[in-house]
Amino acid sequence: MTRFILYCFLFLVSLVLSFTAHDSTVGDLANGAVISLAIPVVDGLIANRTNMRHLWYSVRYASKDVRISAAYLFRIKINGKYLLVPGRRFPQLQPVGGVYKVSSSGRSFLSSIDAQDDSLIPFDDQSSNDLRIRVKGSKVPIFYAWFDSRTGREDSPWREFHEELISTEILPADAFPFIFQDYVKREVDPIRYSEHAQCLEILIADVYELLPTVDQEAALRQLVHADTPDVAWVTEETIRRRGVLPDGTVLNVAQHARRII
């Protein structure tokens, strides 16, 4: 990001000089610099589009409250179907995963930017230290830079996997003493007004794909054939259609389940 800012600065200076000194050696050099810097500037704009967007938010919504919720989700796929579980707070089917937790140092940072605990979700032992907060729009870029640094916050998807599938005995603990996963992507939704939160909102979601061992895949395949209400295996089409099945049956599939596709 620092290098990109430097490129932008040099590009703007060169652009100004190319117009103000166009009939001189300086102007010729400036024209060359503009051409040379155009590609890294455009490339930087694309690579840093999320950061640029947040900088814009910090200006446009500087004094407004912005709710930020940051979570991680698991893509667990067997035979072309995705694993969903019932939500613990809302009656819906959703991917395994949940909101990131913050450590004491993370709480200190959030306090330093005057972040407030989110009031949309009841504050209890389960939601304690969840990374659901409200900050002023002017603090959004600072928050995102901290979040992206991974300092002071949860940096592994293991906890929610264990809580939702292992401690519930949906999957056997002896087959899952550990897991491997690939980081797939991060989705940062554009800011929008949330009717539920009654304020502006930004949702951040990291998606991981489970890479099961041979024994773990065998356990998952057994779960596919198990008659249990604890999980659901659904197709991509079902997720995209929010649970509407061809026979007219409707499963209440959470909207954010689309992120794992």
Q: Quick count: other Cβ atoms within 10 Å of Cβ 150?
A: 10
3-state secondary structure of 152: coil
Mean pLDDT of all residues in 241-245: 85
Give me the amino acid identity at 115: A
Q: What pLDDT is stored for residue 179 in this prediction?
A: 97
Contact in structure between 163 and 188 (CB atoms under 8 Å) = no
Q: Which of 65-74, 125-134, 143-152, 226-235 has the lowest mean pLDDT?
A: 125-134
Q: Rounded CA gap, 229 and 219, in Å?
A: 17
pLDDT tens-digit map of 3-30? 656 655 665 656 565 666 656 665 556 5
Contact in structure between 236 and 76 (CB atoms under 8 Å) = no
Cα torsion through 139, 145, 147, 151, rounded to 10: -120
Residue 170 has pLDDT above 60, yes or no: yes
Q: Rounded CA gap, 88 and 160, in Å?
A: 12
- Would you say how long the chain is, in residues? 261
When the pLDDT of each residue in the chain is averaged and rounded to a whole number, the result is 87
Q: Which of 1-5, 80-84, 106-110 has the lowest mean pLDDT?
A: 1-5
Mean pLDDT of all residues in 41-57: 73
Residues in a beta bridge with 155:
none
Mean pLDDT of all residues in 44-62: 82
Q: Rounded CA gap, 85 and 259, in Å?
A: 15
